[in-house]
Structure 1
Amino acid sequence: MARILIGTSGWHYPSWRGPFFPKELPLKRQLGYYATQFTTTELNGVFYRTPTEKAVAGWRDATNKDFVFAWKASKFITHWKRLSGNSANSLELLEDRLSLLRGKAGPILFQLPPNFTIDADRLASFLRLLKRQRRYAFEFRHSSWYEPRILKLLTARNIALCISDHHDAPAPWKRTADFVYVRGHGPGGRYRGHYKPTQLADWAKRIQGWKRQGCDVYVYFDNDQKSAAPADARRLCELLGSAVPRPPRHRNQQFCLALAPKAKEQMRCPPTR
């Protein structure tokens, strides 16, 4: 059955302490608490540096058995090597770390820089380096990429066009794979501000349509400033109602809530399925 997975791009933001995380919650328990609220997260820090094996195993062990991690590919691949043919070693290292997540490994996102304009041949060559058993999404930051030939290329390999509203190059709402990958960077595409109810209602309608088509849908909010992302993620979950799977109770949940009783009322942690 198709799934709708909604979360945020990362979770380690100081401004989230209080509005989202209980203030008394130790940093090492933040991911465990997050997993009581959402079923997925997009690993953003791995874009900047490769995590240790211990760190990846720690993320895996801190979350529920059905939790899913999306992985943002290293900027070494997208910004420095720019999808060149000599990216194989970097992709192998990515796969080495990602495999430690086991069944919790979700899609891999490649976010291209804004000065990287369309190059269909380079993209086609790079796609041939990718393992077919993984799910991949591409977020283009230059509008030249949104041509039919690029969408056709992605479709042929069952790779998702990341539906992004980033201000550099907002993407069309086009599905190119048997799953959909959405990134919300804020109503102005600049990582801040809450989405209007009408905007989220439109998202919910589109997401329900994709689910009816049998597609898994991954949605990540990246408007991290002033904890807007988790608030908007929860609002979208509420709009979709029973279509969104609820996280089972995690072993850390009672500990987290005991530290801050008010958080129990504020966040209304979902019940066990």
Structure 2
Amino acid sequence: MSIHIGIGGWTYEPWRGPFYPAGHPQKRELEYAGQHLTGIEINGTYYGSQKPETFANWAEAVPDGFRFSVKASRFATNRKILADGAASIEKFLTQGLTRLGDRLGPILWQFMATKKFDRDDFAGFLDLLPETQDSLPLRHAIEVRDESFRDPAFIDMVRARNMAIVYADSDEFPCIDEQTADFTYARLQRTQEDVETGYDDKALDGWANRARDWAKGDRDVYLFFIAGAKVRNPAAAQALITRL
């Protein structure tokens, strides 16, 4: 099993001081993050494409065993008819993200909170997601943010494709606590600025136990501290890594 814990992105000015040492070169922030965390969720790919060389450089900046998850393009997920998104999905997957090589973790497909479950349309969308790209196996994590997705039909169709439903620890979005794949993807979004480690000791102990439970049976775990009090997310990730 492997448990990868990290944050969303690595470029954020308020992290300079609390996380990145004073005077640390900004161009080496990813290298530093790779030495202190075990995963990062790349969010910039949600807004636009990157060059293949950029992905290759990111892979070179982090150590063996580190994993990036890659957030899929909004042009693939923020559309009225999801099953019509084949061209956008292909454009996203062929931009060069496989240059991450063995540092590539799951692809995160995030849907707007206004998107409701439509059985046929959603099944059509999931059928567009390939199992491999450039001979590299792909894993897909599905983040839905409307209560209509508690439908057993949604859970069954995701499980049948070995895709993970994102576990969301959030005040805004529902949490669908179902294991549907050979990996778990969790996004923890309740860090508090008045707590140095984002979550208090009791909560972090609980997440450590939860991560161990998720990892049973050789299931990989990807757990990211996202949003909330963003300035505290690196400290939260490091505190959880220490516990594990």
- TM-score, reference length from structure 2: 0.90
Mapping for residues 239-258 of structure 1, pairs under 5 Å: 239-240=243-244
Distance 2:127 2:230 in 1: 40
Task: Quote the residue 2:138 is aligned against.
Answer: 134
> What secondary structure does 2:40 align onto?
strand
The runs of 4+ residues in structure 1 deviating greater than 4 Å are none
Task: Quote the residue 1:33 is aligned against.
Answer: 32
Deviations 1:19-59 (A, max 9, x none): 00012111110001111101210001111111122322221
Question: Compared with structure 1, are the counterparts of its residues 76 and 156 closer, same or farther at alpha carbon in structure 2 (3 Å cutoff)?
Answer: same
Report whether the alignment pairs 1:165 with 2:139: no
Distance 2:230 2:119 in 1: 39
Task: Quote the residue 1:88 is aligned against.
Answer: 86
Distance 2:31 2:81 in 1: 34
Task: Quote the residue 2:56 is aligned against.
Answer: 57
Contiguous gaps of at least 5 residues in structure 2:
132-136
Task: Quote the residue 1:18 is aligned against.
Answer: 17
CA contact 1:141–1:166 (8 Å) conserved in 2: no
CA contact 2:190–2:229 (8 Å) conserved in 1: no
Task: Quote the residue 2:158 is aligned against.
Answer: 154
Q: CA deviation at 1:72?
A: 0.5
Count of residue pairs brought into register by the alignment = 235
Higher relative contact order (CA 8 A, sep 6+): 1
Instruction: Tell me which amino acid in the other structure corresponds to 1:36.
Output: Q
Distance 1:77 1:13 in 2: 26
Q: CA deviation at 1:159?
A: 0.5
Report whether the alignment pairs 1:215 with 2:219: yes
Distance 1:63 1:40 in 2: 9
Task: Quote the residue 2:182 is aligned against.
Answer: 178
Distance 2:205 2:150 in 1: 25
Greater shift after overlay, 140-149 or 224-233?
224-233
Distance 2:230 2:42 in 1: 19
Distance 2:57 2:15 in 1: 21
Task: Quote the residue 2:134 is aligned against.
Answer: none
Q: How much is the aligned-residue C-alpha RMSD, in angstroms?
A: 1.9
Question: Compared with structure 1, are the counterparts of its residues 82 and 237 closer, same or farther at alpha carbon in structure 2 (3 Å cutoff)?
Answer: farther
Question: Compared with structure 1, are the counterparts of its residues 23 and 226 closer, same or farther at alpha carbon in structure 2 (3 Å cutoff)?
Answer: farther
Instruction: Tell me which amino acid in the other structure corresponds to 1:106.
Output: G
> What secondary structure does 1:36 align onto?
helix
Distance 1:226 1:125 in 2: 35
Instruction: Tell me which amino acid in the other structure corresponds to 1:213.
Output: G
Distance 1:167 1:43 in 2: 22
CA contact 1:9–1:222 (8 Å) conserved in 2: yes
CA contact 1:154–1:161 (8 Å) conserved in 2: yes
Distance 2:187 2:122 in 1: 21
Q: CA deviation at 1:183?
A: 0.3
Task: Quote the residue 1:145 is aligned against.
Answer: 149
Deviations 1:117-174 (A, max 9, x none): 1112111101111112311111111111122211111111110000012333231322
CA contact 2:191–2:228 (8 Å) conserved in 1: no
Distance 1:130 1:118 in 2: 18
CA contact 2:155–2:180 (8 Å) conserved in 1: yes
Distance 1:25 1:154 in 2: 43
Distance 1:18 1:99 in 2: 33
Distance 1:184 1:221 in 2: 5
Instruction: Tell me which amino acid in the other structure corresponds to 1:92.
Output: E
CA contact 2:145–2:173 (8 Å) conserved in 1: yes
Task: Quote the residue 2:98 is aligned against.
Answer: 99
CA contact 1:114–1:168 (8 Å) conserved in 2: no
Deviations 1:51-76 (A, max 9, x none): 12232222122111322110000111
